Amino acid sequence: TGRCNMTNLQLQEKDHRSEIPTFPYEVIHRFSAQHTLHYFEKLGVLWKEEKGYVYPRSEQATTVVNALELKVQALGISVYYEKEVISLDKTTRGFDIKLHDGTHIFGEQCILATGGKAQSKLGSNGSGYQLAKRLGHKIVPVVPALTGLHTNHKAVTKWAGVRAKAGLTCKVDGQTVFKEQGEVQFTNYGISGVPTFQVSRFATYGLERGKSVFIELDFALEYTKEQLYDLIERFIHTCSYKNIRELLEGIFSKKLVPIFLKEVNFVETIRVYQLKKQQIQALVSVIKSFSLPIIGCNSFEQAQVCAGGVSVKEVDVTTMESKKVKGLYLVGELLDVDGTCGGYNLQWAWASGYLAGNSVQKRENTQNMQTRRKK
């Protein structure tokens, strides 16, 4: 379902996170967004761009899936459906893959592309982590990312359904770790929407480590505190007949105004000309720095991706081959790499998958040449 944000033409190093910050970009540099688009064009998929975001021209994710499936069929590749892998072992000849029905599949090389554990209904249930761990790989703690955040602030009972442009500052133990802005969706559990997704991995890691996490919301991005103070003061002079609720409803969503007023203990019917300087300053402070304690996040089932996974310190950045197990390649969300929302995670999947597949083919070609020479 969906449109399928295939890649992003404005991708930068900062758009992915990992134990080694440069690792994802080094991989993507070897198979860029342009490489991705060229590849899909060869598969007969036309694309279109919207401010850097790339989608299939059909605006259907099935277009991308079908193109890949048809190519797999054309190449004569065997596909085993509904077959859970329960063990993966290294042998003297290569790899022994055991399926849940007792079937064994043997291969000289193996690409582990199981995905993480986000949205298991799509096939990724986290089993890949255990397969990699069994072969000696370290797993960086896995948490939901690109997901909604939960708060116990009393405001959630009032603002469900509201959408508003705001700035978000994620603070972990009082330290600012990430900032984002955009349209925030307010829900009966907390906050959601793209800017929330972008900060969520920092919040969830903070919670996972037992730290205090707060999101500060700025509901007046276009104004400094001083400018907002001056604006409200000016409105007080020109609209002295209004009460404070009526004045604020000319600036903010109706559902947000009572929340602001409750934070500063204002009676909604107080006339604006009665407000003192300190009261206006307190109101401005709430609007510009509305603090939400974060107590949790949506589950892996609702998260778009995971943060964490197999440590990239144990993977060759040029080939995606394991540094611990020769012939084993690790790609995609299984690794400790997560990108922001906007086609970045799919580009990581395409790039890491390409490097691994290309490396497997090169090694096989080399081995075939050596075999022919011996004959």
Please indicate, yes or no, if residue 86 is contained in any of the structural domains. Answer: yes
Number of domains in the chain: 3
Beta bridge partners of 293: 214
Does residue 2 belong to any structural domain of this protein? Answer: no
| Total residue count of the chain as it appears in this document | 375
Per-residue pLDDT tens over the stretch 61-81: 999 999 999 999 999 999 998
Q: Are residues 96 and 67 in the same domain?
A: yes
Q: Which of 239, 263, 290 is the last residue of a domain?
A: 290
**Distance between CA atoms of 139 and 141, rounded to whole angstroms?**
6
- Is 186 inside a domain boundary? yes
133 and 73 share a domain? Answer: yes
What is the pTM for the complete model shown? Answer: 0.89
Alpha carbons 305 and 206: distance in angstroms, whole number? 17
pLDDT confidence of residue 120: 79
Residue 68: inside a domain, yes or no?
yes
Confidence of residue 188 (pLDDT cuts 50, 70, 90): very high
CB 234 within 8 A of CB 205: no
In a domain, 182, yes or no: yes
Dump pLDDT digits (tens) for 331-361: 999 999 999 999 999 999 999 999 999 999 9
Residue 48 included in any domain:
yes
**Residues 48 and 22 both lie in one domain:** yes
Structure token pair of residue 108? 């000289």
Q: Is residue 206 part of a domain?
A: yes
What's the pLDDT at 369? 76
Among residues 169, 194, 215, the one where a domain terminates is 215
Q: Could you tell me if 119 and 20 lie in one domain? A: yes
Q: Are residues 109 and 26 in the same domain?
A: yes
Domain co-membership, 152 together with 190: yes
- Give the list of residues 6+ apart from residue 345 with CB closer than 8 angstroms, or none: 146, 304, 305, 333, 338, 339
> Hey, is 21 helix, strand or coil?
coil
Residues in CB range of 5: below 8 A, 6 or more apart: 53, 54, 55, 342, 343, 346
Query: Which has the closest alpha carbon to 18: 330, 360, 255?
Result: 330
Name the CA radius of gyration of the chain, rounded.
26
Q: CA–CA separation, 202 vs 206, rounded Å?
A: 6
* Co-location of 78 and 156 in the same domain: no
Is there a single domain that holds both residue 30 and residue 91?
yes
CATH code: domain of residue 276: 1.10.8.260
Q: Dig out the tokens for 83 from the structure.
A: 């077959």
CATH code where residue 340 lies: 3.50.50.60
Helix (H) or strand (E) holding 245: helix 244-248
Model pLDDT, residue 123: 77
> Rounded to a whole number, what is the distance in angstroms from the first to the last CA of the chain?
52
96 and 155 both lie in a single domain = no
Q: Are 116 and 59 found together in one domain?
A: yes
Q: Are residues 136 and 152 in the same domain?
A: no
Determine phi and psi for 230, rounding to 5 degrees.
-60, -40
Structure-model confidence comparison of residues 370 and 142, the more confident one: 142
Residue with tokens 């440590």: 311
Supply the pLDDT for residue 370: 74
Q: What is the CATH number of the domain that holds 210?
A: 2.40.30
- The tokens 């778009």 sit on which residue? 304
Q: Which of 192, 215, 238 delimits the end of a domain?
A: 215
CA count, 13 A, side-chain hemisphere, 94: 14
Domain containing 346: what range? 7-144+301-374
